């Protein structure tokens, strides 16, 4: 019999919930993807490079001009220089960058610190490489990090700490103080850091993204992962990249080359040209903050108690005063009976803890968010009636 290496791996909740949303024709705020189009200029550029014949394998680490543009972008924003030739690598999405990185670094018996709730792709890759995820819980409701707890979990087996800011699914962003705590914890150790920064440009309330690249003493032991899917509303193009010091990059590329060899060629050329339009990504904080506030405003008017996300395009909502169901039961009922799909937050905890919280993706057109709010209003009214509170 053939079995995936790790028997605990299930079908990703994103696949499950999007399938359910489609089957029941529900408004799909579950899996995270925008419903607005990719810029026509960018599409024309892809088209141009395809017509001009850029259709064969890219160099293994990615198209040179794209790596140069990315190096310049990181330097401009975060004041750290990555050599485009040896320290930046283009991947088939952030997912492949994460997979190749963890597969390179983690060996039998290694421990990897993961903050929960956590994006679903880290722990399975740690486990299939023989590693052991060690979980640190972010404190509800503001999802703060207990650095003392992190400190206590460090030992000679700790190989890697995975951070993700802005964080999916909680919307938590790492402050300067968080980063200084991280420096304190890893200094004097050989621990590496995998910093998932795919939401670097989706950060709110005037805050600036604290990239690892802003902290040279962390950058020299870190792998930074990014995604063009988030930058350009193009999650289906599956293009991303990672930046890391040469010695680390050299090793990860050994795995990368036998995972995809190289990522999609014409889109890489198009992205390289399009990156000159800085405003296309620098406008994202305002664009998504308006969406967050629009969605949250409607939910607040209904009566939901909400702590606004600090970044990402996800908003968590707690339902504990409305129903006794688990979050998964509620997500299923909302999809099937009310036509609105969300992700149960228990999916982001290794013990599937029922936090009675759901995650909604607000990267949607305003009219879709409005429809979603109407459906949630129906649910809320019915739930309150059942509790005899109206
Ligand atoms: N990390 C996080 C935190 C994500 O939310 C996602 C995808 N949404 C990824 C990585 C993967 O990025 P990609 O879609 O480019 O593979
Ligand atoms: N990152 C997206 C989310 O969090 C989904 C990615 C995926 O479907 N694998 O919803």
The residues spanned by each domain of the chain are 13-31+283-386, 56-279
DSSP letters along 232-296, please? TT-GGG--EEEE--HHHHHHHHHHHTTTTSS--HHHHHHHHHHTT-THHHHTHHHHHHHHHHHHH
Look-up of token digits 């305003």: 366
DSSP letters along 122-181, please? HHHHHHHTT-EEEEEEPBTTTTB--HHHHHHH--TTEEEEEEESSPTTT-----HHHHHH
User: Encoding tokens for residue 258?
Assistant: 């036998």
What span, in angstroms and rounded, lies between the C-alpha atoms of 62 and 89?
6
User: Whose atoms come closest to the Cα of 363: which ligand?
Assistant: 2
Give me the pLDDT at residue 4, please. Answer: 83
Q: How much distance in Å is there from the Cα of 168 to the middle of ligand 1?
A: 9
Give me the pLDDT at residue 294, please. Answer: 98
- Average the pLDDT over 66-93 and give the result: 98
Q: How much distance in Å is there from the Cα of 226 to the middle of ligand 2?
A: 14
Taking the CA of residue 235 as reference, the ligand 2 atom at the shortest distance is 6
Cβ neighbours of residue 369 under 8 Å, at least 6 residues apart?
291, 294, 295, 298, 362
- Residue 119 pLDDT exceeds 70: yes
Q: What is the rounded average pLDDT for all residues in the chain?
A: 96
32 C-beta closer than 6 A to ligand 1: yes
Give me the pLDDT at residue 7, please. Answer: 81
What span, in angstroms and rounded, lies between the C-alpha atoms of 193 and 225?
11
- Residue 389 pLDDT exceeds 80: no
311 C-beta closer than 6 A to ligand 1: no
146 C-beta closer than 6 A to ligand 2: no
**Cα-based distances in Å from 183 to 218, 222, 291:** 7, 12, 34
- Average the pLDDT over 123-144 and give the result: 96
**Cα-based distances in Å from 97 to 48, 56, 68, 307:** 27, 21, 18, 31
Which CATH number does 13-31+283-386 carry? 3.90.1150.10
Domain 56-279 classified CATH 3.60.15.10?
no
- Average the pLDDT over 381-389 and give the result: 88
- Average the pLDDT over 18-46 and give the result: 97
- Residue 219 pLDDT exceeds 80: yes
Task: Give me the phi and psi of 383, to 5 degrees please.
Answer: -65, -45
pLDDT digits (tens, 9 = 90+) for 254-279: 999 999 999 999 999 999 999 999 99
198 C-beta closer than 6 A to ligand 1: yes
12 C-beta closer than 6 A to ligand 2: yes
Give me the pLDDT at residue 390, please. Answer: 61
User: Whose atoms come closest to the Cα of 348: which ligand?
Assistant: 2
Q: Are 92 and 263 in contact (CB under 8 A)?
A: yes
- Average the pLDDT over 87-109 and give the result: 98
Between 308 and 390, the higher pLDDT residue: 308
pLDDT digits (tens, 9 = 90+) for 359-378: 999 999 999 999 999 999 99
222 C-beta closer than 6 A to ligand 1: no
Q: Sort strands 192-196 and 88-91 into parallel, antiparallel or unpaired.
A: unpaired
What span, in angstroms and rounded, lies between the C-alpha atoms of 386 and 390?
9
- Residue 130 pLDDT exceeds 80: yes
User: Whose atoms come closest to the Cα of 227: which ligand?
Assistant: 1
């Amino acid at each position: 019999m053939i079995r995936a290496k790790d028997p605990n791996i299930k079908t990703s909740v994103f696949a499950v919930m999007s399938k359910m949303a489609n089957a029941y024709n529900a408004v799909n705020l579950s899996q995270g993807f925008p419903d607005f189009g990719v810029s026509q200029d960018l599409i024309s550029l892809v088209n141009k490079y395809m017509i001009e014949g850029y259709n064969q394998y890219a160099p293994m680490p990615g198209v040179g001009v794209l790596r140069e543009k990315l190096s310049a972008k990181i330097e401009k924003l975060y004041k750290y220089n990555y050599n485009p030739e040896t320290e930046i690598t283009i991947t088939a999405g952030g997912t492949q960058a994460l997979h190749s990185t963890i597969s390179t670094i983690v060996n039998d018996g290694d421990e990897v610190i993961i903050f929960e709730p956590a994006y679903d792709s880290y722990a399975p890759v740690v486990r299939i490489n023989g590693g052991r995820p060690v979980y640190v819980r972010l404190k509800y409701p503001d999802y703060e990090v207990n650095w003392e707890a992190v400190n206590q979990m460090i030992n000679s087996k700790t190989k890697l700490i995975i951070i993700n800011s802005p964080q999916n699914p909680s919307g938590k962003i790492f402050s300067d103080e968080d980063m200084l705590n991280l420096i304190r914890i890893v200094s004097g150790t050989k621990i590496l850091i995998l910093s998932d920064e795919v939401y670097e440009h989706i950060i709110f309330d005037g805050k600036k993204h604290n990239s690892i690249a802003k902290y040279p003493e962390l950058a020299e032991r870190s792998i930074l992962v990014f995604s063009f899917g988030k930058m350009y509303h193009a999650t289906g193009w599956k293009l991303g990249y990672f930046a890391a010091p040469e010695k680390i990059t050299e090793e990860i590329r050994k795995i990368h080359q036998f995972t995809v060899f190289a990522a999609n060629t014409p889109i890489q050329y198009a992205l390289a040209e399009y990156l000159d339009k800085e405003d296309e990504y620098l406008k994202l904080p305002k664009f998504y903050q308006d969406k967050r506030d629009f969605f949250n405003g409607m939910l607040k008017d209904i009566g939901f108690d909400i702590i606004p996300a600090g970044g990402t395009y996800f908003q968590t909502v707690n339902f504990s005063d409305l129903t006794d169901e688990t979050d998964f039961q509620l997500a299923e009922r909302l999809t099937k009976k009310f036509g609105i799909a969300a992700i149960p937050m228990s999916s982001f905890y290794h013990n599937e803890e029922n936090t009675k919280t759901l995650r909604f993706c607000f990267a949607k057109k305003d009219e879709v968010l409005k429809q979603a709010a109407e459906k949630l209003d129906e649910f809320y009214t019915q739930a309150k009636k059942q509790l005899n509170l109206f």
